[in-house]
Amino acid sequence: MTSTYETLRIRLQRAFDVLEVGADPVLRVSERSDYQANGIMALAKRLGRPPREVAEEIVRGLDMEDVATVEIAGPGFLNLTLASGFLNEELRALASDDRLGIASATPRRIVIDYSAPNVAKEMHVGHLRSTVIGDALARMYRFAGHEVVARNHVGDWGTPFGMLIEHLLDLGEDQAIATLSIGDLDAFYREARAKFEASDAFKGRSRSRVVALQSGDPETLRLWHVLVNESIAYFSAVYQKLDVTLTASDVVGESYYNEMLAAVVRDLDAAGLLVESDGALCVFPPGFVNRDGEPLPLIVQKRDEGYGYAATDLAALRDRVSILHSDELLYVVGAPQVQHFEMVFAVGRMAGWLPETVRCEQVVFGNVLGKDHKMFKSRDGATVKLVALIDEAIERAYVILDDRGTDLDGDAKFHLAEQIARAAIKYADLSTERQHDYVFDLDRMIAFEGDTGPYLQYAHARLRSIFRRSGDLVPTDSHFALGSIAERELALGLLAFPEAFMSSLAALQPHRLCTYLFDLAQRFTSFYDACPVLSSEGALREERLALCDLTARTLRLGLSVLGIDAPEQM
């Protein structure tokens, strides 16, 4: 179906076309009217005519069947109020559409690179953002009808593996596996690092172990696999705890690209892009300079002939375009790597590996800060384990459920605590503009009041409770008279869903959908307070039940594409 927003835009476009300037109307949801048409001032300027005259001409061109009132307010915009007949028809169409107005798009293949933890290293809050944002985008794209290929670019290669493997041998394989499988990855890494720095003998062994790894020594590779597999098992457990769609089969680590690295160098050279500088093989994409104002290289092959992450990222980019045939590449990676990816993408374009038709973008996100606005750390200055954070949130949710008194017990109660905790953490992360740093404050996000995940879950649970009481009866053929202000406000909120979803996805900004859902939940609670549902009768009862059903479905769908559960009761 066509969304209300689209319908209006088309109407408005027709009115604009009367003026024959080919301008696009700008339509926005307004707080003081149902919609507001902007951009008339600019149009008048282009036409060289008085704005009021232009506005009047647009109003004459509008299809007044759908619009109850039009107000020329100020010289630059029109306030539109929708006709009740139009609202009724739109709501009926929305209510009978199980996709809630989101048309299934012509499928494109989108590769989303997200999460990317490192083998034998703990996942911390930094990984939370990439994982949660990436997963929300993946779910949104899938719902919109696209094919998503998730890529978990795990750090599973490089010089640290020499010392890690030697440490594993020192501990004995069984002991090492035991340490890793209980999830104490940081301890393992720390011990290895400490030995590396303290003992020259260990350092020497580590270095030769790296050489053995790179040359494909079978026993070394076997030991490497032990480390990798244990870590991936651990990551999978974290993903499960977070209810993230990533699986072990989405893991395509850095090592996967090893065999392609020589070809990257060879082909860049053949294209005449490769320059030797201080012994390293580099590409100098235009427009990048270092602190002395000299051209900044992307180092593809190091002086020691090893490959850096630039080579790996170029190989991955190539693989994703030419082998996976993706139409769009997204990298959900933190802000510090902006320049790196700009350079990689620039080199990809220069080499012809990244056609102009392929959209390629870093989905940048800001840092997670503590309450002191410094990088998020525990009191003793150590990085905080992601699992510890999730567990703490679950524990708090559990305590709150106890305090509130709940019908649930045992597994069901624990499961609900998990759902609430995940909602609190994910919503807090997703609801701010992703490029900004955000303050991680568990107290606030799990406070269950205000603009939080649990508030949205609660609104949904209250809605479901209505249907439990009324015997799950959902009216199918209601007329939406929208006699009260609260009903009308709720209805307009419901009709805005497709536009909110699509613009959120187009901008790769999940927080816009969050803002929409919170606004909808508030419209609902106001409605719920003002309009009795079950104690109403006849057509009014049917209408209100239908509004409730549509609201519940919209909340559930919106939350689900953000990766948040909507429990039936809380």
- For residue 226, what are its two tokens? 């032990």
Q: Which is nearer to RNA, 145 or 370 (CB)?
A: 370
- Identify which of residues 373 and 379 has a Cβ nearer to RNA in the complex: 373
- In the complex, what is the shortest distance from the CB of residue 355 to RNA, in angstroms, rounded to a whole number? 25
How far apart are alpha carbons 556 and 359 in whole angstroms?
30
- Is residue 246 within 8 Å of residue 115, measured between CB atoms? yes
**Residues ≥6 apart with Cβ < 8 Å to 412:** none
Burial (CB count within 10 angstroms: exposed 0-12, middle 13-18, buried 19+), residue 55? buried
Q: Report in angstroms how near the CB of residue 247 gets to RNA at its nearest.
A: 22
What minimum distance in Å lies between the beta carbon of 174 and RNA? 29
Tell me the residue type at 543. E
Nearer to RNA, 220 or 504 (CB): 504
Instruction: State the burial class of residue 407 (Cβ atoms within 10 Å of its Cβ: 0-12, 13-18, 19+).
Output: exposed
**Least Cβ distance, residue 62 to RNA (angstroms):** 16
Query: Least separation, in Å, of the C-beta of 17 and RNA?
Result: 15
Q: Nearest distance from residue 84's CB to RNA, in Å?
A: 20
Nearer to RNA, 93 or 275 (CB): 275
Q: Say how far residue 484 (Cα) sits from the centre of its chain.
A: 36
Indicate the residue among 97 and 433 with the shorter CB distance to RNA. 433
Q: Which is nearer to RNA, 291 or 379 (CB)?
A: 291
**Nearest residue to 480 via CA among 85, 187, 74:** 85
Closest CA to 448 of 419, 408, 468: 419
Q: How far is the CB of 501 from RNA (least distance, A)?
A: 12
Q: What is the DSSP letter of 250?
A: G
Structure token pair of residue 182: 């209980």
Q: What is the CA radius of gyration of the chain?
A: 28
| Nearer to RNA among residue 243 and residue 433 (C-beta) | 433
The owner of tokens 């060289």 is 48
Residue type, 205: R
Q: What is the DSSP letter of 296?
A: P
